[in-house]
Structure 1
Amino acid sequence: MVRPVALTLNAGSSSLKFSLYDIAQGPAEPTLMAVGQVDSIGGKPKLKATLSPASPAITRELTASEASNHTSALATALGVLRTQYPEARACVVGHRVVHGGPHFSAPVVVTEAVMNEMRDLSPFAPIHQPHNLAGIEAAQAAFPEALQVACFDTAFHRAHPKVNDTFALPREYYDKGVRRYGFHGLSYEYITGELKTIAPLLHDGRVVVAHLGNGASMCAILGGRSVASTMGFTALDGLPMGTRCGQIDPGVIFYMVQQEGKTIDEVRDLFYYKSGLLGMSGISNDMRTLEAADVPEAHEAIDYFVFRIRRELGGLAAALGGLDALIFCGGIGENSRKIRRRICEGMSWIGLELDHDQNDVSARVISTEFSRARIMVIPTNEELVIARACKSLLARQHAQAAE
């Protein structure tokens, strides 16, 4: 018997993350079947996967031909999945797309017109968008009959008030799409949905979510809706990240170009790939490595990371008119008790009081019972958000076909 499933894809410049979900159980949530990723596409590729919730993870080196590009990487991943689930048929494929521009405010079925509009947005996200689209094209070739669904990282933020959506530039640039978009929207959507289930009163209140990982941002959420975000026109703005610089004076670009003779491509490469924790420390973009390194350069990189988060937290709380909850997610937010502790230290003025024992074990609630604002750790799940969208749009298509 054929088993209908949803395949989710998150295509990066040299990686392809994939998940397989069972979507056959009526109105029930999609059920995770398998998850994995192919790294170092075009170089020395490696496959990591967990092929069932009960099985151990597998890791194996790939030949260059098995992952020379996104198309061959997807074919390799599908070959592994088919050995475990020969009866599965991907009737819908969901894709994470970083930039949806000013118009895409919800997941959409991919058509040629949608593809063209997403291609037009590539200058807004030159590091991410072309690879996202390469993943879609590879999936279209592999599953020509499947529904392809695009889920946008910017969509969650499209209800921003204009003061949080604009720059102080001549008005025509706003009309051209030069705006503050915000990113990590799939993560924020998941956290907001979880909060509505486990703490509905907080969901209706004033919440700051800190998505802290190799990519990092923060979002102010009021009544379940994004009102401000640290990321802006691109995913380069805001907090310092693993290799990205975060907020920077645009005059630095003029200096590098005019005084050092760098090209725009060289500056872009520096800001995206050689800055952040890696650039400041000269050691690594991995917070675990920096926390274990007892050298001044590592300490300074961590100090700056924490300082910017605390500064943005104050600004986002001001945008909300107060704070009812601070929620940590992402690789660093979910796993680094030291970073959470340093962020919350001395923040009683904003209503935060950390329970150190609960923080040390990464409990769901890590604030004391006397803290005016709740502090929580909620693991994010962007893939499930994509799978939900896949199931919803597939059901809508079936309903329309039956009319």
Structure 2
Amino acid sequence: MLVLVLNSGSSSLKYQLMNPETAEVKATGLCERIGIDGRLVHEANEHKIKKDINMPTHKEAIEIVLDFLTNGEDKVIDSIDEIQAIGHRVVHGGEFFNQSVIVDDEVIAKLESLIPLAPLHNPANIMGMKIAQEIMPTKPNVAVFDTAFHQTMPASNYMYAVPYEDYKEHGVRKYGFHGTSHYYVSNEAKKMLNKEDSKVIVCHLGNGSSVCAVRDGKSIDTSMGLTPLEGLVMGTRSGDIDAGVLSYLMDKKGMTAEETVNYLNKKSGLLGVSGISSDLREIIEACENGDERAATTIDMKCNRIKKYICSYAGMLEGVDAICFTAGIGENADLIREKVCNGLEFMGVELDEDKNKVRNDENREINTNSSKTKIYVIPTNEEYVIANDTYKLVKA
């Protein structure tokens, strides 16, 4: 079965054509600057194409993707009829969805009701579904949710200490995100550990970052909350912060509520503290050149990760494996080193030579004597989406 995986953003469209039965990726790419001028990056048959193409709307972007998949010297299929289903990444499923579902009018209506919880993401996700239904009306569409994996959290972990009626009436609670990544990585860790009753901590570290405590394959707590703003220090997001800071800044800087949230989402984090960039690679380079603010920024990020690891180890009553994934987690050996150093009391012993190895394979980077395993596991969210789509459509 061939599944087209779509991740629709406000002005972008990530896609991948995959056979989930074999995990073979036939093509992958990104449409960006949709509605502005349009740019396509398309990879197929070991050939990468970058091309400026006018994309007034997401509909044109999807049509261009389908044209590249079926025509030209780099085509991978003869007709869109060979695509048997479309899988969509959906950021927020609220409490409605604890697993992936086939898209119908009722599903879309529920997702539209959740827009206030994810105003930047859900409208674009819904738009991608509606356009796919319009262009390929005979193909089933499946929604796969970032939040679904975390629906196993107990109330004591997902509740906020605010009046209970605000949870019941307005849905104020922790939902968590990066669920497809945490699910994939924790499952891979279970295989590597070769035990079902596992206690795993997954650190998904990219521009957006989160930590998840996984017991026996189920999420019991995660660092992101009602929105992706809570938790770790991220590229431009502040992560955990005293709520009193918000009213204080609004008073001192004359900011509205919307401006304050934008400040915490887009002007804070690594960018805000370092004053250099939201890209950790540039901050590490500055640190190596003696920039003290850059060094402080790196330490802040690592200390916050370590804080969550220790907290979740206590919640899990032990830990079998700590996993690092996503762009920073998979590639930044300095961050892994700083996070793991000092955790020897938990049986965590990092092998410095193994830690410096860089490849695309699942790998163990702890010493032979380490009681706790340390894994680097490249995430594969697209596979989770494609596989969930396959299982639902096949059923």
TM-score by length of structure 2 reads: 0.93
CA–CA distance in 2 between the matches of 1:343 and 1:22?
36
* Native 8 Å contact 2:199 2:215 kept in 1: yes
Structure 1 residue 71: Cα displacement: 2.0
Alignment of 1:165-180 (within 5 A): 165-176=158-169, 177-180=171-174
- Tell me which residue corresponds to 2:49: 58
CA–CA distance in 2 between the matches of 1:356 and 1:391?
40
* Native 8 Å contact 2:189 2:375 kept in 1: no
* Deviation readout 1:315-354 (Å, 9 max, x if unpaired): 1111111111100000000011111111111110111100
* Deviation readout 1:293-322 (Å, 9 max, x if unpaired): 232232222121111111111111111111
Is residue 76 of structure 2 the alignment partner of residue 77 of structure 1? no
Is residue 192 of structure 2 the alignment partner of residue 204 of structure 1? no
Structure 1 residue 44: Cα displacement: 4.6
Specify the SS of the correspondent of 1:183: coil
- Tell me which residue corresponds to 1:191: 185
* Deviation readout 1:35-63 (Å, 9 max, x if unpaired): 111123233532222113xx132222x24
* Deviation readout 1:139-178 (Å, 9 max, x if unpaired): 2222122111100001001111111110111111222321
Alignment of 1:267-278 (within 5 A): 267-278=260-271
* Deviation readout 1:190-217 (Å, 9 max, x if unpaired): 112222333322x522110000001100
- Tell me which residue corresponds to 1:400: none
* Native 8 Å contact 1:140 1:148 kept in 2: yes
* Native 8 Å contact 1:29 1:388 kept in 2: no
Structure 1 residue 99: Cα displacement: 0.6
* Native 8 Å contact 1:323 1:351 kept in 2: no
- Tell me which residue corresponds to 2:35: 42
* AA at the equivalent of 1:359: N
* Native 8 Å contact 2:189 2:200 kept in 1: no
CA–CA distance in 2 between the matches of 1:44 and 1:204?
51
CA–CA distance in 2 between the matches of 1:157 and 1:233?
12
- Tell me which residue corresponds to 1:148: 141
* Native 8 Å contact 2:66 2:80 kept in 1: no
Alignment of 1:213-252 (within 5 A): 213-252=206-245
* Native 8 Å contact 2:189 2:323 kept in 1: no
- Tell me which residue corresponds to 2:78: 86
CA–CA distance in 1 between the matches of 2:278 and 2:38?
20
Structure 1 residue 102: Cα displacement: 1.0
* Native 8 Å contact 1:344 1:354 kept in 2: yes
- Tell me which residue corresponds to 1:328: 324
* AA at the equivalent of 1:297: R
Structure 1 residue 30: Cα displacement: 4.3
Deviates more, 1:297-306 or 1:348-357: 297-306
Specify the SS of the correspondent of 2:221: strand
* Native 8 Å contact 1:5 1:88 kept in 2: no
CA–CA distance in 2 between the matches of 1:358 and 1:34?
32
* Native 8 Å contact 1:109 1:149 kept in 2: yes
Alignment of 1:3-402 (within 5 A): 5-22=2-19, 28-52=21-45, 55-60=46-51, 62-63=52-53, 66-83=54-71, 84=75, 85-89=77-81, 90-176=83-169, 177-201=171-195, 203-293=196-286, 294=289, 295-362=291-358, 364-396=363-395
CA–CA distance in 1 between the matches of 2:35 and 2:270?
26
* Native 8 Å contact 1:109 1:148 kept in 2: yes
* AA at the equivalent of 2:36: G
Unaligned runs of 5+ in 2: none
* Native 8 Å contact 1:125 1:235 kept in 2: no
Structure 1 residue 264: Cα displacement: 1.8
Structure 1 residue 88: Cα displacement: 4.4
* Native 8 Å contact 2:321 2:374 kept in 1: yes
* Native 8 Å contact 2:189 2:321 kept in 1: no
Specify the SS of the correspondent of 1:9: strand
Identity of aligned residues (%): 41
CA–CA distance in 2 between the matches of 1:139 and 1:16?
12
TM-score by length of structure 1 reads: 0.91
* Native 8 Å contact 2:96 2:110 kept in 1: no
Unaligned runs of 5+ in 1: 397-403
Specify the SS of the correspondent of 1:67: coil
* AA at the equivalent of 2:256: T
Structure 1 residue 267: Cα displacement: 1.4
CA–CA distance in 1 between the matches of 2:347 and 2:35?
49
- Tell me which residue corresponds to 1:399: none
Specify the SS of the correspondent of 1:371: coil
